[in-house]
Amino acid sequence: PTIQDLATIYVEAVNQSASACLVEMPVTPSLDGTAPTDKRSVLPFRGGEAAALDRVNYYLFQSNCVATYKETRNGMIGGDYSSKFSPWLAHGCVSSRYIYHEIQKYEQTRVANDSTYWLIFELIWRDYFRFAAIKYGDRIFYKSGPRNRKDIAWKFISDGARGGSDEKFHRKAFQAFISGTTGFPYIDANMRELYATGFMSNRGRQNVASFLTKDL
């Protein structure tokens, strides 16, 4: 299937539950690492090192999904189209170095191809942005960005007179983005998935971020 086909299938799957954007916000996990899980979530994520190592072992050695990672990584439905390592990496439950060495073992005992290389490549990209964030600090959140660009005209909720038509328009547009009610099905489906389950695919994150910064 093409990227467009996958996007259509994904939107239809999310829209099967019209109340996806109206669910209650997820409850904070308890100390044992458990949390209420929306049945539509791509995985029943559970915190901790043991769960992280189980996921690495499953994605590499049990399922061999890593061998087709490059071909499937832009998927949006299900648990196996991509590694889903990011939550455990972000919380320190597993390290990029450990995953790298496990992939090396996989390549030595199973197969080394573009997909195994590409997953390592993505881990390197992740570390690059982590180090970039350390270097630039909170400047990455400034409207001028790390490069201190002053020549980009951004739209802000505070543009125009407070309470005026411009501010109301921007505020309404941003709220529609947050709630998944922009009228753009692909964007809305991704935002509703994030709101309901706490997860959004890599491809979804890229497109949603692009929509927010370049179109909205």
Q: For the chain, what is the total number of helices (H) and then of strands (E)?
A: 9, 0
If one counts every other C-beta atom within 10 angstroms of the C-beta of residue 48, the result is: 14
Give the whole-angstrom CA distance, residue 75 versus residue 202.
9
Distance from the first to the final alpha carbon of the chain: 29
Distance in angstroms (rounded) separating the CA atoms of residues 119 and 100: 9
Take residue 114 and report the two structure tokens written for it: 């573009």
Dihedrals φ, ψ of 152, to 5°?
A: -105, 125
pLDDT score, position 44: 86
**This prediction's pTM:** 0.79
Sequential pLDDT tens for the chain (216 residues): 555 665 666 566 666 544 444 444 444 455 455 555 788 889 888 999 999 999 999 999 999 999 999 999 999 989 999 999 999 999 999 999 999 999 999 999 999 999 999 999 999 999 999 999 999 999 999 888 999 998 887 776 555 545 556 777 788 899 999 999 999 999 999 999 999 988 999 999 999 999 998 888
Among 37, 21, 73, 26, CA closest to 185:
21
For residue 141, the SS3 value is helix
